[in-house]
Amino acid sequence: MNRLTLILTLCAALIATTASAENIGIHGNENVSLPNSGKVLEVMNVAGYTYLHIEGKDKKEWIAGKAKEIKEGDFVRYSKGSVMRDFFSKSLNKTFPEILFTSAIQLEKPVTTTGVAKTNPEQQANVVQAHVVSTADSGGYTYIETKQNDKTVWLAGPKTAVKKGDTIRYANDGAVMTNFYSKTLNREFAEILFVGEVQIIQ
Q: Is it the case that residue 28 has pLDDT exceeding 50?
A: no
* Mean pLDDT along residues 155-159: 87
Which of 3.40.470.10, 1.10.1380.10, 2.40.50.140, 3.30.1180.10 is the CATH number of 36-123? 2.40.50.140
* Mean pLDDT along residues 50-73: 90
Encode pLDDT of 182-195 as tens digits: 888 888 999 998 88
* Mean pLDDT along residues 126-143: 88
The residue ranges of every structural domain in the chain are 36-123, 127-200
Q: Which of 19-23, 95-99, 159-163, 193-197 has the lowest mean pLDDT?
A: 19-23
Q: Is 79 exposed, middle or buried (0-12, 13-18, 19+ CB in 10 A)?
A: buried
Return the CA Rg of the chain: 21
Give the up-direction half-sphere exposure of residue 169: CA atoms within 13 A in the CB hemisphere. 7
Cα–Cα distance between 49 and 184 in angstroms, integer?
23
Whether this model's pTM surpasses 0.95: no
Confidence of residue 14 (pLDDT cuts 50, 70, 90): very low
Residue 3: predicted pLDDT = 52
Residue 2: predicted pLDDT = 54
Residue with more model confidence, 116 or 176: 176
Pair type for strands 81-89 and 94-102: antiparallel
Domains 36-123 and 127-200 are alike in CATH topology: yes
Cβ proximity of 165 and 146 under 8 Å: no
Cα–Cα distance between 35 and 105 in angstroms, integer?
11
Interacting residues of 53 by C-beta distance below 8 A, sequence separation 6+: 40, 41, 42, 43, 60, 61, 62
Residue with more model confidence, 44 or 5: 44
Q: List C-alpha distances in Å: 88 to 60, 114, 140.
A: 19, 45, 15
Q: Which is the CATH superfamily of the domain at 127-200?
A: Nucleic acid-binding proteins (2.40.50.140)
* Mean pLDDT along residues 34-62: 89
Q: Which of 16-20, 95-99, 124-128 has the lowest mean pLDDT?
A: 16-20
Residue 7: predicted pLDDT = 39
Cβ proximity of 9 and 15 under 8 Å: no
Dihedral over Cα of 147, 148, 153, 154: its sign:
negative
Averaged pLDDT score across all residues of the chain: 75
Residue 109: predicted pLDDT = 59
Q: Is it the case that residue 146 has pLDDT exceeding 80?
A: yes
